[in-house]
Amino acid sequence: MQMNYSQSKEWLFSQKIAMKGFTLAKIRKLIKLAKINTNSFKTIHVAGSNGKGSTCAFIAQILKEEGCKTGLYTSPHLVEPTERITINGTKISEKKFAKYTNYFRKLMQKKKMGANFFEIITAMAFKYFDDEKIEFLVAETGMGGRLDATNVLDGIVNVITTISLEHTQYLGKTITKIAKEKAGIIKNNSSTIAAKNNKGFEIIEKTARVKKSELVVPKFEIISSSQNGQEFLLKNNHELGKLKIKMLGSYQCENACLAATAMLSLRKKGFFVSNGAIRKGLLKTKWKGRLEIIKTKPIILFDSAHNPEGWKKLFKALKLFSYKKLFVVFAAMNDKDLNYVKVKLKKANLVFLTRIDSERAENPKNLRKKIGFGEIIEKPAEAVKTAVKEAGKNDLVLVAGSIYLA
């Protein structure tokens, strides 16, 4: 049976999202069987705990401005899985998504092999990019790095964003162990970009040395930050001058800085990326669900903060907004440590606890036990409507806790 788009999604999700027992054996087998040439495009590989998606978006937009045919592979998606696989900002069509799902389902049936959701959709993306003959691929890891399905790629430039405690039951309970997993994307004779303030910097530096990967440590200075955007200087390159971004939150300046530095490293490797493309790309980049203003009066703000570092940055960024009362719609996965979140949520006037549409979602009743307060509204849409109804025109409604909630 040939599956349509809806059926292909259903089949894909039925293959389950694995959270442990990772190896690269199955993704390598899928790539070999499908005759995918991952060396047909140049890869910029991005790992980290926070800011991966935004950094990927900055890089992909810069390469698009340079006129390069650029694939972008990210996860998870906000609404449809087609969002994960784009070329120059255009999502893979539903028809082609179904085509590649059918292809891999038949291939797996023929070879009597199984694979999980992420392994299959990763193979689908790489097959699509290979068939479409892209020049560059900007790839975000799913979880970790060393054993992530994307790590079959041979990145010529690797970017490692902020590392914090996350998925500790799978990646390790210390920053050192998590950093080792993230630094697993560093390839021999590549370039690696990481900020000095990264908590995993020591491990990144050591891994880069062992792999003979040039480690580039960018420095930046924020000039201005408001609800309308931000300006910063990249101290490593004075030719670029003042750089502007529309994305909010000072941490996005760091992500933009990493992206710009990655492009300068690409230039050193013989791939021309102009200063103009870097400036335009940074300014044009948008990334949904990250400090995204959905509406004003009251301000409705969507964010994807899902770990302590993310929440710390989010609440710092809330200072950009002028509001009287804070209402929060919150949901989380069942593997999250909520002790830090609990402290931050106490600053809200009212918290609504809801449930994400995921098998890993935490029950709102358990959320209230862990946090100690909050009004339960099971359906997210109803929770948001209720919060907006409670809020006055000078208040702020924050919807956060997981990208899945957004």
Whether the bond into 308 is cis, omega within 30 of 0: no
The torsion angles phi and psi of 182, rounded to 5 degrees, stand at -65, -40
pLDDT score recorded for residue 18: 65
* E-assigned strand segments in 28-97: 42-47, 70-73, 85-87, 90-91
Alpha carbon distances (Å) from 179 to 4, 138, 173, 201, 284: 40, 21, 11, 8, 31
Contact 362, 332 (CB under 8 A): yes
Helices assigned H by DSSP within 15-93 = 25-33, 52-65
For residue 122, what are the CA distances in angstroms to 90, 140, 243, 264, 370?
Answer: 17, 11, 33, 27, 35
pLDDT for position 171 = 67
**3-state DSSP percent of the chain in helix, strand and coil, to 5:** 40, 20, 40
Residue 334 is predicted with a pLDDT of 83
DSSP string, 320-339: GS--S-EEEEE--BTT---H
What are 249-304's pLDDT values in tens digits?
A: 888 999 999 999 999 999 999 999 999 999 999 999 998 988 899 999 999 999 98
pLDDT recorded at residue 313: 86
Between CA 230 and CA 195 the distance in angstroms is 19
Q: Which residues pair with 158 in a beta bridge?
A: 45, 192
Query: How distant, in Å, are the alpha carbons of 22, 205, 217, 320 from that of 210?
Result: 24, 9, 17, 42
Q: Quick one: tokens of 86? A: 């784009």
For 288-304, letters b (16+ CB in 10 Å) and e give ebbbbeeeeebbbbbbb
C-alpha 318: how far from chain center: 21
Q: Which residue is it, tokens 């590392």?
A: 163
How many CB atoms are located within 10 Å of the residue 343 CB?
A: 13
pLDDT at 236: 82
Does domain 5-284 fall into CATH 3.10.20.30? no
Which residues of the chain have a pLDDT value below 70? 18-21, 165-173
The C-alpha atoms of residue 109 and residue 334 are separated, in whole angstroms, by 33
pLDDT score recorded for residue 308? 79
Angstrom distance (rounded) from CA 34 to CA 113: 13
- For 188-202, how does the pLDDT look when each residue is reduced to its tens digit (9 = 90+)? 999 999 999 999 999
Whose CA is closest to 302, among 390, 163, 404, 378?
404
Nearest Cα residue to 22 out of 189, 167, 206: 167
Q: Quote the Cα angle for 34-157-164, to 5°.
A: 100
Q: pTM to 2 decimals?
A: 0.90
Structural domain spans, the chain:
5-284, 292-400
Name the architecture of domain 292-400: Alpha-Beta Complex (3.90)
